Structure 1
Amino acid sequence: MLDIRKRTGWLFFAVMMAQVILVSAQVQSKSGVKVLTLVTFEVFSRIERATSGGVSGVRNVWDSYFALRGVRAENEELRRQLAQLQVKLQEEHALAARSQRLQALMDLQSSSGLPTLAAEVIGGNPNPGLKTVTIGRGSADGVHTDMAVVSPTGVVGRIIGQPATHAARVQLLIDRNAAAGALVERSRAGGMVVGTDADPPLRMELVANLADVKDGDDVVSSGVDGIYPKGFLIGRVERSERGNGLYRKITIRPAVDFSSIEEVLVVLVPPRPATRDEGVQ
């Protein structure tokens, strides 16, 4: 019974819709176009508009996706170019710094009035107890044992051992077994600068308690040791105080940065016997 009612209802609905369609097909609007045509056009136009909007949305998504990929590729290329420019800039800075160091070395070579030979530091010493470096000049270049080694900033050290044909070992002044005759430039008080394992790594000894030595005084080589030419900067007094015995306690900060030595000058003057300096007090 229920199925017959449902079928009757659907049949009635279908008949009514058919009548509406038939009427719409016959009735015309004010513009002369049949109502059915207008309704059909309106329905399909809405469907086309929705479909067109969906297609446009999909197209915009794809366009955005490809544009994003293009931006990413462009960013990667820009990052690569930036990295290349940074490397090139570092190389140019290194070249400029080396040019400045070589120019300072040439200026020292021309102003020292001594026969000198430019040399490049080619190695260090893995033994922390021995503060030495190796230079790329040797006996074939006129380098001999106990020749002084200097830089534009001050005294570096001396040649030790027998030089090879094209290499030699330099004992740095801060080595605990190194020493050099020295003068306080301001007061001319003399003594001996020795290397230590402390900080600062230089100490000035044999300077009387009565000598005029102040913090900040420059200390230069005196030449009494027969190795280092007179007048080359050794360092600056960091602390000077009266000692318990006859001599002052003086610590010196080196003028040379021994952690970054790259080029030096070997003074091609054979060592001579040590002499007594009148300035020693």
Structure 2
Amino acid sequence: MLLSLALYGMLLAAQAQPEGQSAAIEPAHRRNPVYEEALRTGLEIDGRANPLPSPILRDGMDAAAERAALLRVAGSERALADLLRDSVTAPYILKVRDKKAKDATIRLVDLWFVVRADLDALDPAEVAGQSSAKPVEAGNMRFESRLLADDELKAKGKAAAHGRDLSRWYVAITSVLLDRIELHAIDEAVATRSAQSMVIGARTDSGFGADANRWRNVGRDADDGAFRAFQGGLSYTKVSRLKDPAGALLVEFHAAFSEPEAWFRGAPILRSKFSLIAQDQIRSLRRELLRNRPKGAATSSGAR
């Protein structure tokens, strides 16, 4: 389910990042081209770059620097304590920004939350396989994903990779948004791992043909039913091991996607569902991790 937050990126500064942004990436994650693109240029629309923000935590931070970074996001000591609480219902922090583009709005999403899990035991490619073809419903929206097989990839000159420190896979996603928009897209996902963190980058892949990434109206206001091109999205999820409290992981999710003006005439109807979707997915993830927690592992009184 960690992966779902990245791959359902539309649930999944108008200038380039300052020079040297790529150099700030930890060595283990420099092999992740999607992550590097997300920080360097981000989602390019109308020839303009929309880079995603850098993660607040970097490998090698000491405990004081880590806490200071968390406090900046949480806003207060009390809010930080609540964010770090070992509970299915612990809060998350969600920020959404918009940028106007030609005939579209670029939605930029930033999300932070904490879970209890063993970072070394997390295998994003395995989770992707388990979630393949299992529908996810939240906020009157439905998402289905399917891992592309090796023969499908070979036909397009692509290949999956299944390593512990570097893995790559491709997912075909079908979505129905608010009973009004039918959306199809193919995402490339790349995961890299260091001793202290894991990064999953995902981006809409244009290398599968003109019909791979498309949308159409299907609701009451449906027009001729014709498909139109979808410009896509880009996201990354970074999971970092926290020094305090022990056993806690910070999950940072940052995404940008292009919402055509024709979907909702620019109204923030889809945007208004982001919080509901985040809450649903985060709580589902925490429940799953709690079920898989080794017997005898420490839990707080609010964990359940």
Same fold flag (TM > 0.5): no
Shorter chain as denominator, the TM-score bin is under 0.3
Higher strand proportion:
2
Bigger Cα Rg: 1
**RCO comparison, higher one (Cα < 8 Å, 6+):** 2
